[in-house]
Amino acid sequence: MATHPAYVSQYSVVAREVRARRLEVSQTVRWLGILVAIVLVCLLYVGLTSRVAVLATEVQGLREREAQLISQNEDLQADVARGSDLQNIAAKAAGMGMVPATTVEYQYIAQ
């Protein structure tokens, strides 16, 4: 059975148009996918950059707190050194009216 030439040419034109349209859709989907990937990478970059900035601020705050604590620790160590000085202790005791003990009494407790 022979096919009529008008049907063949009309079919081939439609088939060519369908293939061309599929190719356009395929390219559009490809470009859309690339665009989505670029947007996601940009969002990831911005998110990471902002997180790094927040962490840098926190680190700076912690360094300042560390410097305060080191200074406070040095002040406390100086206070301990002054408080442990025997001459200073004797002067404070004398200022409160205390005198050195002349006799020492011990009591033994039987168990």
Range of weakest confidence among 18-22, 28-32, 61-65, 80-84: 18-22
- pLDDT at residue 4 in the model: 55
99 conformational bin, left if phi > 0, alpha if psi -120 to 50, beta if neither: beta
Local structure of residue 96 (DSSP, 8 states): T
Domain boundaries, the chain: 7-82
Structure confidence by residue, pLDDT tens digits, 52-85: 999 999 999 999 999 999 999 999 999 998 888 8
Q: Is the pLDDT of residue 3 over 90?
A: no
Q: Is 26 exposed, middle or buried (0-12, 13-18, 19+ CB in 10 A)?
A: exposed
pTM for the whole structure: 0.50
For the chain, the residue count is 111
